[in-house]
């Protein structure tokens, strides 16, 4: 069954089809176009997708959305970006799937992937989710437009770095269930305080219908604030966490020799025991929220527990591999103060000599120096012997650690890789984490390729 026909695309976008064609996928990055895809040629500040139409069709595109004439099969619209949003909106309108929206300062991508794994275990091939971190004004409608018409579940990640962004995205997604993972300092350059971040994250609940379910972190200091945002919209509010009083809470946790955690959780009038493959108490909290979503979606909690036990680490978000005789923990995709602390706490329990490659945390505004310097104690608690710090914003942390452990402070990821070659020794465990713009994923790739 096709994902979209040219007639359906034209009807959804108000465009004009050049002829009959059908597509099985949607992409707006020409490098990602595959056989049968619809290529959405959008004009941006730095590039114009129309320049890559020949490339997209050479790679197997079956059709395109364009705002300028072309000889390729297409639907002609006034604005390709608006058309992508319209196509996402039409996908949501035609779907009978149970839709879950996920946001948070920390852990939203991991929670989205875990939730997808849980729902896919119960309904193989019938669950859909956002790929990668496509969670903004272009990524969300793309993910919606890609949702198969026969999907039973849809899981969509929504992100923001300014107030009002989630309010728009949640009206596109219109979730039946909306979850906030954690509220923490992130994008603080654009917010006066953490409460304002909580307010912005709380916008996700405005997309719920009267029978919708809001999933809220009970342990958060902003719990009541989030409940206040959810109450006017949600038919039901469910809290999750480690503290007594949460609707879904951990009764007992036990760290396993594999690094994961065995959890016994309470679900109102019942208990569930399960294993989480990923290490760290932040994963326990995330898993409780995920299971609350599964329960609200009518999924199978037993099968969800099995999925969590088998869940591997994501590239850039906890994936592990051995390079030579060195264990590498890849957290290179992103970083903020909360995620840094959580990951360092995991490192504390790892074997061997501990080495960290930490990239600067960006978009922290006036509090940046204090946030960076504040990582000194978590680093020491993690038994780190050598810290390789990357980026100018790491200077306050370097000063805070001076004379306490070995420090190397370099300007960029290329210099970091060069320095790391002289630092690592057999048996080491190295944690790599930083804001995505620092480019530490290239360092991780070099380690994986054995170029260290």
pLDDT computed for residue 191 by the predictor: 82
Same domain for 362 and 291: no
C-alpha closest to that of 328 among 354, 348, 302: 354
Same domain for 287 and 330: no
Residues paired with 348 in a beta bridge: none
Same domain for 347 and 406: yes
Average pLDDT over residues 197-220: 96
Binding annotation for ATP: 104-110
Give dist(CA 97, CA 68) in Å, integer: 34
Establish if 215 belongs to a structural domain. Answer: yes
Same domain for 382 and 302: no
Same domain for 143 and 26: no
Same domain for 360 and 298: no
Same domain for 340 and 293: no
Among candidate residues 310, 333, 368, the one where a domain is terminated:
310
Establish if 86 belongs to a structural domain. Answer: no
Binding annotation: 104-110
The domain total for the chain is 3
Among candidate residues 51, 80, 109, the one where a domain is terminated:
80
How sure is the predictor about 186, in pLDDT bands with cuts at 50, 70 and 90?
A: low
The model's pTM is 0.83
C-alpha closest to that of 186 among 316, 339, 342: 339
- Residues 6 or more apart whose CB falls under 8 angstroms from that of 125 comprise none
Establish if 384 belongs to a structural domain. Answer: yes
Same domain for 191 and 166: yes
Same domain for 164 and 191: yes
Establish if 89 belongs to a structural domain. Answer: no
Establish if 88 belongs to a structural domain. Answer: no
pLDDT at 366 over 90: no
Establish if 246 belongs to a structural domain. Answer: yes
Give dist(CA 335, CA 341) in Å, integer: 10
Phi/psi of residue 359, each to 5°?
-90, 155
CATH code (residue 30): 3.40.1390.10
Same domain for 342 and 252: no
Give dist(CA 411, CA 359) in Å, integer: 10
Averaged pLDDT of the chain: 93
Q: Which tokens hold the place of 86?
A: 């319209």
> Do 311 and 419 meet the contact criterion of CB atoms below 8 Å apart?
no
Average pLDDT over residues 404-417: 96
CATH code (residue 185): 3.40.1190.10
Phi/psi of residue 231, each to 5°?
-55, -40
How sure is the predictor about 312, in pLDDT bands with cuts at 50, 70 and 90?
A: confident
How sure is the predictor about 452, in pLDDT bands with cuts at 50, 70 and 90?
A: very low
Establish if 121 belongs to a structural domain. Answer: yes
pLDDT digits (tens, 9 = 90+) for 224-249: 999 999 999 999 999 999 999 999 99
pLDDT digits (tens, 9 = 90+) for 16-50: 999 999 999 999 999 999 999 999 999 987 889 99
Same domain for 382 and 282: no
CATH code (residue 341): 3.90.190.20
Same domain for 252 and 129: yes
Among candidate residues 310, 329, 361, the one where a domain is terminated:
310
pLDDT digits (tens, 9 = 90+) for 98-116: 999 999 988 888 899 999 9
Quickly list DSSP for 309-355. HHPPPBTTBBEEEEETTEEEEEETT---HHHHHHHHHHHTTSSS-EE
Give dist(CA 356, CA 433) in Å, integer: 8
Establish if 414 belongs to a structural domain. Answer: yes
pLDDT computed for residue 257 by the predictor: 83
Q: Which domain holds residue 332?
A: 319-448
């Amino acid at each position: 069954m096709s994902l979209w026909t040219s007639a359906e695309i034209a009807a959804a976008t108000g465009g004009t089809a050049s002829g009959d064609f059908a597509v099985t996928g949607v992409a707006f990055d020409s490098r990602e176009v595959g056989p049968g895809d619809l290529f959405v040629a959008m004009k941006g500040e730095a590039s114009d997708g129309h320049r890559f139409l020949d490339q997209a069709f050479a790679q197997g595109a079956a059709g395109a959305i364009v705002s300028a004439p072309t000889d390729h099969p297409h639907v002609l619209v006034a604005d390709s970006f608006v058309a992508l949003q319209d196509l996402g909106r039409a996908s949501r309108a035609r779907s009978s799937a149970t839709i879950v929206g996920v946001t948070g300062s920390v852990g939203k991508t991991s929670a989205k992937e875990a939730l997808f794994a849980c729902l896919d275990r119960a309904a193989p091939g019938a669950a859909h989710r956002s790929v990668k971190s496509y969670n903004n004004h272009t990524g969300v409608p793309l993910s919606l437009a890609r949702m198969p018409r026969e999907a039973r579940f849809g899981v969509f990640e929504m992100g923001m770095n300014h107030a009002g962004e989630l309010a728009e995205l949640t009206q596109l997604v219109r979730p039946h269930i909306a979850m906030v993972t954690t509220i923490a300092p992130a994008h603080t350059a654009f917010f006066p305080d953490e409460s304002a971040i909580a307010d912005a994250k709380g916008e996700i609940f405005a997309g719920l219908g009267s029978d919708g379910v809001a999933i809220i972190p009970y342990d958060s200091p902003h719990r009541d604030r989030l409940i206040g945002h959810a109450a006017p919209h949600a038919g039901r509010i469910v809290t999750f966490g480690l503290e007594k009083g949460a609707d879904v809470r951990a009764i007992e946790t036990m760290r396993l020799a594999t690094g994961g955690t065995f959890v016994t959780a309470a679900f109102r009038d019942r208990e569930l025991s399960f294993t989480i493959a990923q290490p760290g108490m932040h994963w326990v909290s995330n898993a409780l929220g995920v299971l609350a979503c599964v329960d609200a979606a009518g999924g199978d909690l037993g099968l969800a527990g099995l999925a969590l036990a088998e869940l591997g680490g994501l590239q850039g978000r906890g994936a592990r591999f051995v390079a030579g005789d060195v264990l590498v923990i890849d957290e290179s995709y992103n970083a903020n103060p909360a995620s840094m602390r959580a990951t360092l706490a995991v490192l504390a329990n790892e074997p061997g000599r501990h080495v960290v490659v930490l990239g600067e945390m960006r978009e922290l505004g006036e509090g940046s120096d204090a946030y960076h310097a504040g990582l000194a104690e978590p680093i020491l608690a993690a038994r780190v012997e050598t810290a390789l710090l990357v980026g100018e914003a790491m200077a306050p942390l370097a000063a805070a650690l001076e004379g306490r452990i070995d420090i190397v402070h370099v300007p960029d990821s290329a210099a970091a890789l060069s320095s790391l070659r002289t630092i690592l020794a057999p048996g080491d465990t190295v944690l790599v984490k930083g804001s995505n713009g620092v480019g530490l994923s290239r360092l991780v790739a070099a380690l994986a390729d054995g170029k260290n």
